[in-house]
Structure 1
Amino acid sequence: MSDVAVIARDRRDRLGEGPLWSARENALYWVDILGRRVNRLSLADRSVTSFEQPAYAAWIIEREAGGLVAGIGLDIVRLDLPANTRETIGSVDKGIAGNRLNDAKADRQGRIWAGTMPAACDKPSGAFYRIDPDGIIVRADAPYTIANGPAIDPEGHFLLHTDTALATIFRFDIHDDGSLGQRRPFITFERGWGNPDGMTFDADGGLWVACWGGGCVTRFTPEGVRDRSIALPASQITSCAFAGPALDRMFVTSAGDGVKEPLGGALFEIDPGQRGRTPEMYRG
């Protein structure tokens, strides 16, 4: 377990998720979903600040026009930090009690792809949505028990999305109008790998997947073949993102909820031996 650093701070995340590199701020954002917090790590001085939210803080993405957009509960909001004020763009899963947002990414067209799931992780009541720059929200696919990922082909031809409960990463073609093609299994996790959670592409087209219950991040080739893994000192690994000016560092989130582990819920920094891609921004 070489070159694994633990980011120093005064708390652990109940359910750390959604790391996002901000080049314009030289900072890493991530969320603690169950802790209802948005966190920020300054790479300049390694300081961490935390902003409490009124509901589950599911994800955070930069806006091209400046500022941030976030998934809070079932609402998509423009989030102003450090003032920590919110302006609602729209909502999803209306009328479905017990659901929440979970994980999202922006694509090169400036759209957001975001999944939902039951907070209890107990039934396939979740769905997968597209949020367009004009604020229109489209239900793109269903059902999901634990919607995770997603990872979007940098060329915009396809996306990958996961149902962690099924231990399967699915592939969808993206049509010119933003609709999705048929859901097809791309990678099915074997026993002992853990279950697929958050993921990201590297500059060579490899897919890095956080392995919930597997205590590692695993790289798959563009063809979906398991390439290598980096072990981490926590079992519930939730997501990963390339960061730093050269995009050659990786930050990895984890969850402490439900486990008695000294580093459960820590934020880790590792050397992945690859470079990543600059994350896309929302154009709304």
Structure 2
Amino acid sequence: MTRWRIIERGNVRDTLGEGLLWSPREQALYWTDILAPALNRLSFGDGGIARWPMPERIGWVIERRNAPGLIAGFQSGFAELDLTSMRVTPIVDPEPDLPDNRLNDAKADRAGNIWAGTMPLGADRPTGNFYRLGADRRLTTVDRGYSVANGPAFSPDEAWLYHTDTVAGTIYRFPFADGQVTGAREAFIRFEADWGKPDGMCVDAEGGLWVAHWGGARVTRFTPEGKVDHAIALPASQITNVCFAGPELDRMFVTSAADGKPGEDHAGALFEIADPGVRGLAPNLYAG
């Protein structure tokens, strides 16, 4: 039995789909097309899909706790994004000395901080870093030396922060408490050669870690101990991100990339996974 369906958008496919975000406030799903560049939104109310061109590469958006609008990760750094006025207000460029780097993936923690990684545009050298943007808008460097920093996620009790270097094929974890990393990173899951590479991630309510496989045509659920639980195959090789959505957080959506895959009919599609078997966690909001 097929466990997925494609969210139809006519002839639109994402060059590099990423940055999935469920918005309980809007009852809508956001995701980015980094290379278009564009921001997409699927309304759960009427099924309509909106797509906004962006002024530069955009990796992700996160909702704000105490204000309207979004915080976005652009090539030039963190910024406020108002879709009504299409105003972009810069907050901070984490790497003004590295103009060929860009923000790639991010999540907020329960305390309202944003955790975001960078990568070089060519994904060809370890000049990417991992940052914490505090609710006070102070920027802290957490870790260095990533070729493609990807997929931050938190365990349900926020005892662990998961983070990935896609090129290294490794998912790391950091001990975590009260909005702070409390120790050094450790290798948590190393991808085998035929798995592809780890990309975006999310955690379910039972602590399972769901990982998108770039070059592996699937998403996999790993147990809280880091063991393979099960995998769901998809008809696109470059799977990029995974997210729970819906009022009950029981629907799962997956992005993919068409870049470099002209022969794949479903490359760049947005997929919905039928009956993932678990519920997700509500997204955290930025407190700044």
Q: TM-score, normalised by structure 1?
A: 0.97
Please say if residues 111 and 178 of structure 2, whose CA atoms lie closer than 8 Å, have aligned partners that are also in contact. no
Q: Which whole-Å CA distance do the structure 2 matches of 1:153 and 1:256 have between them?
A: 31
Indicate the RMSD between aligned Cα atoms, in angstroms: 1.2
Q: Which whole-Å CA distance do the structure 2 matches of 1:164 and 1:3 have between them?
A: 26
Please say if residues 149 and 162 of structure 1, whose CA atoms lie closer than 8 Å, have aligned partners that are also in contact. yes
* Equivalent of 1:247 in 246, 249, 266: 249
Q: Which whole-Å CA distance do the structure 2 matches of 1:188 and 1:37 have between them?
A: 32
Aligned to 2:127: 125
Alignment of 1:176-195 (within 5 A): 176=178, 178-195=180-197
AA at the equivalent of 2:8: A
Query: Percent of aligned positions with the same letter in both sequences?
Result: 54
Please say if residues 215 and 231 of structure 1, whose CA atoms lie closer than 8 Å, have aligned partners that are also in contact. yes
* Equivalent of 2:283 in 265, 279, 283: 279
Aligned to 1:21: 22
Cα displacement string for residues 75-116 of structure 1 (whole angstroms, at most 9, x for unaligned residues): 211111232211111111121131100000000110000000
Aligned to 1:267: 270
Aligned to 1:100: 102
Please say if residues 202 and 210 of structure 2, whose CA atoms lie closer than 8 Å, have aligned partners that are also in contact. yes
SS at match of 1:54: coil
Moved over 6 A (4+): none
1:234 correspondence with 2:236:
yes
Cα displacement string for residues 183-214 of structure 1 (whole angstroms, at most 9, x for unaligned residues): 11000011211110000000100000001111
Please say if residues 113 and 179 of structure 2, whose CA atoms lie closer than 8 Å, have aligned partners that are also in contact. no
1:161 correspondence with 2:150:
no
Aligned to 2:77: 75
Q: Which whole-Å CA distance do the structure 2 matches of 1:144 and 1:180 have between them?
A: 20
Structure 2's unaligned 5+ residue stretches are: none
1:144 correspondence with 2:146:
yes
Q: Which whole-Å CA distance do the structure 1 matches of 2:112 and 2:157 have between them?
A: 13
AA at the equivalent of 2:163: H
**Residue 174 of structure 1: CA displacement?**
2.1
AA at the equivalent of 1:38: L
SS at match of 1:192: helix
AA at the equivalent of 1:12: R
Aligned to 1:9: 9
Structure 1's unaligned 5+ residue stretches are: none
AA at the equivalent of 2:226: G
Q: Tell me the number of residue pairs that the alignment of Structure 1 and Structure 2 aligns.
A: 284
**Residue 180 of structure 1: CA displacement?**
4.5
Aligned to 1:115: 117
**Residue 155 of structure 1: CA displacement?**
2.2
Please say if residues 17 and 239 of structure 1, whose CA atoms lie closer than 8 Å, have aligned partners that are also in contact. yes
Q: Which whole-Å CA distance do the structure 2 matches of 1:191 and 1:19 have between them?
A: 26
AA at the equivalent of 1:269: E
Aligned to 2:49: 48
SS at match of 2:50: strand
Aligned to 1:63: 64
Q: TM-score, normalised by structure 2?
A: 0.96
Moved more, 102-111 or 10-19: 10-19
